[in-house]
Amino acid sequence: MYIILPVKIGVPKEVAEGENRVAIVPETVEKLAKSGFEVVVESGAGRDYNLDAAYEEAGAKVAGDASEVYGEADVVIKVSPPTDDEIGHMREGQSLICFINGPTHPETVKKLADAGITVFSNEAIPRTSVAQAMDALSSMGSIAGYKTAIIATDALGKYVPMLSTAAGTTKAAKVMVFGVAVAGLQAIAIMNRLGAEVFAYDIRPETKDQSQSLGATFLDSEDANEEDEADEKEKEDEFVEYEPEGFNKFMASLGFYSFAEPPRDEYVVEGEEEETEDDSDEGWSKEKLDADQELIRERLPEMDIVITTALVPGRKAPVLVDKAMVESMKPGSVVVDLAAESGGNCELTEAGKTIEHEQVKILGPVNLPSEMPIHASQLLSRNMHNLINHITEDESEDGDEKKPKLNLDFEDEIIAGTCIAHGGEVRHEPTKEALEKSEAS
């Protein structure tokens, strides 16, 4: 099914409190203009780091207010979900691209669908190699992981690296990172560069190698057991020459050498070692996961910093650090919870606040990418540009004057997955389920 519509890009100023990013920067406007797009940007949308003059120089029209942007645009590009007032400015047939998190904001998606708006959600972009250049969630995750490491370092009342001074040597801080996705990997990398002793954990087996490649020690109960049994195993592996005793020794001395052979139930003869079956699975067993949790509880009191980054799209964040675990940590240690906006990975986290419990600081920062608006906007804008190119096509015949048109091919995996509302209907199943629950309650 193909739907061809004209395209004019609109970029309004973000109105959400604390949102300092802009969806399209002048660098991208210039690329869009060369591809035949018209771009209208609300005055001040780029804040203090992307000025109106820079947008105009790149080829954009600067509008005096948001209503002018919404009135002219065919495709509206935003960062945060639209407010009710912004939805009121929109018209049937328009398209919207933004971070909207449908399962968390199903009512907003429903309002947009009822208004006849086609909605593309940045969170819904498939995690495939083809869609990687459009994956704004990963771009923002990388920035959030970096900022989390910096916040944790700033909150800790001690050096992070080991330092030798005239007054003596300070030990390197020990850092534990829960969740080894984009944000967690970035946090590991930054902490390692700062000189910390970094540890990591995730329930996915493949993350062990990823963590270790960035210099972290992956907490693994099987590794710990192997260390505990190393001395005993070494003794078992030592070669001990068998010496027959008693009657066997007497018979061997008479030339009956079979009596000189060791009993097979006590010794393994070289070359006749027992074959072991490979019982490895794709995932870890429940027994191993339980043992891992026990190991984490044992090691947590050693940590100076704990960084948690585990998020489940459309659901409340899992609790990884409970109250008892916080109370086991040393005075002056720090927990930075990147999942604060989704309920928190720490039981004591309060979104947007720093609290102290038993001399341990728990920080719940929100919207960290917005605290680095220059690079966050630049990376987000590049992701948006790639997505715009994917959902449009050039209809010019001679190629001299490009004529981009919106092309919604719902057989395309990226378009089908990212478009969560179209034609007056909510298309995204998790959002529909969340909406049904919301309407039933």
CA–CA distance, 122 with 137 (Å, rounded to integer): 7
Residue 403: the pLDDT is 85
Phi then psi for residue 257, to 5 deg, are -70, -15
CA–CA distance, 214 with 191 (Å, rounded to integer): 10
Cα atoms in the Cβ-side hemisphere of radius 13 Å centred on 413: 7
CA–CA distance, 108 with 231 (Å, rounded to integer): 61
Structural domains in the chain, sorted by start? 4-136+373-430 (3.40.50.720), 142-228+279-370 (3.40.50.720)
Residue 109: the pLDDT is 96
Q: Are 310 and 317 in contact (CB under 8 A)?
A: yes
Q: Are 248 and 260 in contact (CB under 8 A)?
A: yes
How far from the centroid of its chain's Cα atoms is residue 28's Cα?
Answer: 25
Residue 222: the pLDDT is 86
Residue 291: the pLDDT is 92
User: Who's near 77: CB < 8 A, 6+ residues apart?
Assistant: 9, 10, 11, 23, 24, 97, 98, 384, 388
Show the low-confidence residues of the chain (pLDDT under 50): 1-2, 4, 267-281
CA–CA distance, 137 with 308 (Å, rounded to integer): 17
**138-191 residue pLDDT tens:** 999 999 999 999 999 999 999 999 999 889 899 999 999 999 999 999 999 999
C-alpha distance from residue 375 to each of 45, 356, 381 (Å): 15, 32, 10
